[in-house]
Chains A and B, each alone.
Chain A
Amino acid sequence: MLSVDIAGTMGVREISVRFGADRGVTALVGPSGTGKSSVLRAIAGLWRPKRGTIKLGEKTLLDTQRWVDIAPNLRGVGAVFQQALLFPHLTVERNLLYGAKGNRDDFDTVIDMLDLGALLKRVPRNLSGGEAQRVSLGRALLSRPDVLLLDEPMTGLDEGRRMTILPYLQSMRASLTVPIVYVTHRSDEVAALATSVVRMENGQGLPATSVADYLKFDQATVSQ
């Protein structure tokens, strides 16, 4: 269980959000520039909010009142961003194993799930956008994270490639026991993946809603 209750300033934007995320996919939605990515960066330890707490199970990742701020490499957070951010000097296989700490137990399972077998010996510059993003997902999974953060992982892909990645994300959701926080501004992705939705507006997080309620709200907004 991940619980986030933070507030701070990122650039000119005041950000304040409070939500919990359990097993399944919690979608963090809202228009561009509303602070969704900052919330993910705070969970990852890459941005320090002015005040608040972030807890992951029994572990406190951030507690500004008690001066707790765990370094990103000790947080147990896996992340995939809009860009795959593969290490360009390493093969796909070495990218995948970078965070695995020598553990290859899940390697074959992840390779099969994301269909990466044929890519292992390639280098990142020879991968398509969709392939690179699948490798990035695999790399995050093999680091055995306690929470998985996905920041619009399909944004850089064209419509055809999105459709090829979506089934992989759905099978990940089914097999993972850790919370997944998924940032997006697309309601079709929410409908296909999410189990609960936290909407953000002007930096402020609204109370979590069900996917059905969010989609109703979204349709009403679109038809207005």
Chain B
Amino acid sequence: MDLSSPVVLSIVGLSLQVSLVAMLISLPLAVVMAKLLARPGLPGKALLSALVHLPLVMPPVVTGYLLLLAFGRSGWIGSALHDIGLGISFSWTGAALAAGVMAFPLIVRPIRLAFEAQDVRLAEMASLLGASRTRRFFTISLPLAMSGIAAGLVLGFAKALGEFGATITFVSNIPGETQTLSLAIYSFLQSPSGDAAALTLVAISISISVLAVLVSEWFTARQAKRLEQ
């Protein structure tokens, strides 16, 4: 199977789509969560941090099963979504949700570190210059955390791209609908003649990951140069 075969293109296209949508779902929440966790003296911070990190430490199958319970067709959120025609179980949107949930802690962590590393005196200064909390966040905290956000996005994207356990449990392994790179590699390895196809997908998977890390490195270096004082 060559790189331009429709099957490969469909698998890669679906994986990129799932990972990008997973990032779109997770990033805004991850930024808010990172900002909260970076706040000194936040009540219940340890508990909140533990909750955020749960998908990282729990077996992925457990996360997938919990997603199925909540978002499956008879789940308490899933049934409501299904009633309004937005059912996500066994569809690529479900795969994006699973990938987003699994990637969440990896996105939050570098952004939180970026917020924590900021000089609080800059925000104080912005405040003395009349900036409200919202303006301080969007004009000072957020731009200064860009390297952390880039790092979080790359880590999360890589995790989303490689997600397996939660995805297969929650949305199964349906070619053209939920079969992302990892699931396709697994499927091809199950068939006696699938080694070549699996290897092609492995090569593509490695290439995308390396490219993502290089982009992140470039972005972080550029940001560090911009901010050095």
Contact = CB atoms under 8 A, between A and B. Distances in A.
Q: Do A and B bind each other?
A: yes
Interface residues of B, number: 20
B52 to A, nearest CB: 27
A216 B102 CA distance: 71
B61 interface: no
A79 B128 contact: yes
Given A87-B140, A88-B144, A143-B130, A123 B226 contact: yes
A125 B228 contact: yes
B129 A88 contact: no
Interface stretch (B38-46, B118-126, B198-206): B118-126
Interface string A106-144: 000000000000000001110000000000000110010
Interface of A is mostly: loop
A73 interface: yes
A10 to B, nearest CB: 16
B121 A83 contact: yes
B132 A73 contact: yes
A15 to B, nearest CB: 19
B124 A72 contact: yes
Interface of B: 119, 121-122, 124-132, 139-140, 143-144, 226-229
A85 interface: yes
Contacts of A20: none
Q: Contact size class for A? A: 20 to 34
Contacts of A123: 226
A98 B131 contact: yes
A88 B229 contact: yes
Contact of B226 (A78, A88, A101, A143): A88
B228 A99 contact: no
Nearest to B225: A125
Contacts of B144: 88-89
Contacts of B226: 88-89, 123
Nearest to A83: B121
A87 B128 contact: no
Given A89-B143, A89-B144, A89-B226, A46 B130 contact: no
A44 interface: yes
Contacts of A81: 121, 125
Contact of A72 (B119, B127, B140, B229): B127
A124 B144 CA distance: 14
A83 B131 CA distance: 20
Interface in A25-61: 44, 46
Contacts of A89: 143-144, 226-227
B41 to A, nearest CB: 15
Given A72-B124, A83-B121, A85-B122, A139 B229 contact: no
Nearest to B140: A87
A211 interface: no
Given A72-B127, A73-B130, 14 more contacts: A71-B127, A72-B124, A74-B130, A79-B125, A81-B121, A83-B121, A85-B122, A86-B229, A87-B126, A124-B229, A125-B227, A125-B228, A140-B128, A140-B129
Nearest to B226: A89
A85 B121 contact: yes
Given A81-B121, A85-B122, A89-B144, A99 B229 contact: no
A140 B131 CA distance: 13
B229 A125 contact: yes
A99 B130 contact: yes
Contacts of A72: 124, 127-128
